[in-house]
Chain A
Amino acid sequence: MNTRRLMKHKGRNVYMISGGVTKFAKASPDMDFRLRVKKAFDYALNDINLSLDQIDGSVASYFSDHFQRQLMSGIMVQDYLGLTPKPSKRVEGGGATGGLAFQTGYEEIASGRMDVCAVYGFETMSHVNTWKGNEFIALASDTNFDYPVGGFYTGYYAMMAVRHMHEFGTTVEQMAKVSVKNHGNAMHNPYSQSPMKLTVEDVRKSPMVAYPLTRLDVCTMSDGAAVAILASEEKAFQLCEKPVLVKSIGTGTDTMRLADRPFGKVPLLPNESQSDYKNLKYPGIHSFRAGRMAAKEAYEGAGITDPLEELDVVELHDAYTSSEIQTYEDLGLCKYGEGGAFIDEGKSSLKGKVPVNPSGGLLASGHPVGATGIMQAVFMHWQLQGSIKKHFKNDALQVHNAKTGLIHSHAGTGTYVTVTIMEAV
């Protein structure tokens, strides 16, 4: 069941040639979603002197129709940007919307349909209060069996965290260290929403949201937009001095209801063996099988057999501190059960073995859902170009000589997960 077939036809090589991001904020009522995307889009265009007529089409990335009570927001952006009557479509998959849309843009180029494709993502979460926003997000859980009982995503993640602690001995202090790391990294990211210098004690003392997750273990609501421009090999080198190869994509899924997750065997990465996990019932509700499957497919496509050694930088979906630790394991940066030690040992810190979320991640950069996965692509593009200094006006977060990067976008309780490998050329 867990064997995966590689894509029969890999298609054409795909490159990312430019990107733009707005500064994420809890609320930015001075701009609507169209203008916000326009700002990120113009930044991406200006960075490589690209003009509208060079773009063949687009992919629109946004999660919720509830937040603004505006259906077909995608076409309104297409229209505002001046991209009509070119082809476009909306892609939606909860928190992974941005990652899925980016991969759809990849497919537009790889298939030969387009030579240059704009992927734009946005979310406006400030038009409702935080608790109404949580209600909208919770509608992305089974409305017969899950929403009426819990109706709160932090509650679902808290239950997974409790089980992870039980299975592997992960501690709340280890989770807090993720918050300290990501908020700290964000101090050097001018686009981030919540840069903060924190201690483990600060995180633990902040108000409890759902045991064991505190306010500082959880990302915030955001208004924001992000744009990635993808191109074929020929166009990429014509239009951009330093394109970045989008080397491979992987996508996994899992059951909508946490309650339905099976208790089976771990789908193994090349550097693991079944004997590593003799008594582990997988995924249960301690791990994200979709994340593992996405990583497995992406690694196969990129020929990666030892992720910790071969990846130089990772931007992953840390909606919760606990899910960053869980994701270290899904991505095979360490074995299942070693995620807590991984943060303890500083392996994911800016100067560590593989910096994870140097941008500050969702926890500190913000999480305007449809923009988030594209924001990760933009930050990774700049990392692999070595252009962080140009875009951030400081190079504190530049991972030196970064050659291979991984971006990871994640929906629901791990229902859709995307992993994309990018490479400096």
Chain B
Amino acid sequence: MKITLQQRKNKELEVIILYPELTQQVKEIVGYLRTNDTCIVVKEGMERRLINVHEIYYVESLERKTFVYTKDQVYRAEKKLTQLKKELAIYGFVLVSRACLLNLNHLKSVESIFNSRLEGMLENGEKISISRTYAYQIKQYFEGGH
């Protein structure tokens, strides 16, 4: 892959991707670029703020409330997990259990644990339980079958 950088002063940042075929690699690059430009609304106490999708490690649903986890912060999301699942699918977010949506860009490794379950290690050292049913979806995602 050839990368060309060109400086154009006083112009908006623009990324042009020239590709022979729309492969998985191209889609991933597009997805990555989009994450740098996409934010979701979360609550921090009484305040609302925007966080970049790229910052999110995983989203969890607990007692009908949705929580967004970043590297070292937890926020409450306004949307439901099912809504976020649809919206964030293109950015590498995959369901890893009934109530957890994981950003695969922050997944460091996976190992099998007791009870034939899987455990995912994230970049911040946090561990996430992965259901066997959803492990196949992760595999498919990496293999480009999503």
Do these two chains really belong together in a complex?
no
